[in-house]
Structure 1
């Protein structure tokens, strides 16, 4: 069965290569610190199959009633830096295999 296409997929060029990325997980806050999770974006090379899941730190909790994060609100420069960091960390986007999980800092580095 083929993987379904995420609703909000975006293209970005990093170091001359075209990648496709999408918001995989919105930030999750909890009163239990062990259950807090930051935003995660998934990316793959436009011509490749192997995905990288780039996990960001949790960050501050928004005020009550703040709108939910949408993929279109994520700055392209942050995504580009996170993808470049993943490649530098050893992700081979044109290889085959399971998705790679990579933790990045709040700036994508």
Structure 2
């Protein structure tokens, strides 16, 4: 049986509302046309069910053997700005529905 490794959820407050987020995907190589894909974080309102996956652009490729990125190493300001951008783009965290994928820039905007 395959073992899944789920990263811990971290709490953050944006606009006076509580959210929880986790590192969904590390930056990785992809076989599609994009080639290198950036990291993605999954966010949801603490009382809500609808999740948003915020995808960042790929940065420089990590050196071979570099340590894996941990959620605790991501700046809370970057996460807060990305969540605010997702809400401005039309994500309704307290609504029901499928997970929404939103692409943000490297600064979270």
Partner of 2:47: 47
1:66 to partner: Cα distance: 1.3
Summarize deviations over 1:79-101 as a string: whole Å, max 9, x none.
00000000000000000000111
Paired position in structure 2 for 1:3: none
The 2-side partners of 1:81 and 1:69 are apart by: 19
Q: Normalization by structure 2: what TM-score?
A: 0.89
1: distance between equivalents of 2:106 and 2:22?
17
Q: Tell me if structure 1 keeps the 8 A contact 2:52–2:100.
A: yes
Consecutive unaligned residues in structure 2, runs of 5 or more: 1-5
| Mapped contact 1:29–1:58 kept (Cα < 8 A) | no
Query: TM-score, normalising length from structure 1?
Result: 0.89
Q: Write out aligned runs for 1:1-109 (5 A).
A: 6-29=6-29, 34-109=34-109
Query: Against the structure 1 CA distance between its residues 33 and 87, is the aligned structure 2 distance closer, same or farther, given a 3 Å change threshold?
Result: same
What 5-or-longer segments of structure 1 have no aligned partner?
1-5
TM-superposition CA deviations, 1:25-63 (whole Å, max 9, x none): 000036976232110000000000000000000110122
Q: Distance in 2 between matches of 1:101 and 1:65?
A: 30
Say if 2:7 and 2:23, in contact at 8 Å, map to a contact too. Answer: no
Runs of 4+ in 1 over 6 A off after TM superposition: none
How large is the Cα RMSD of the aligned pairs? Answer: 1.9
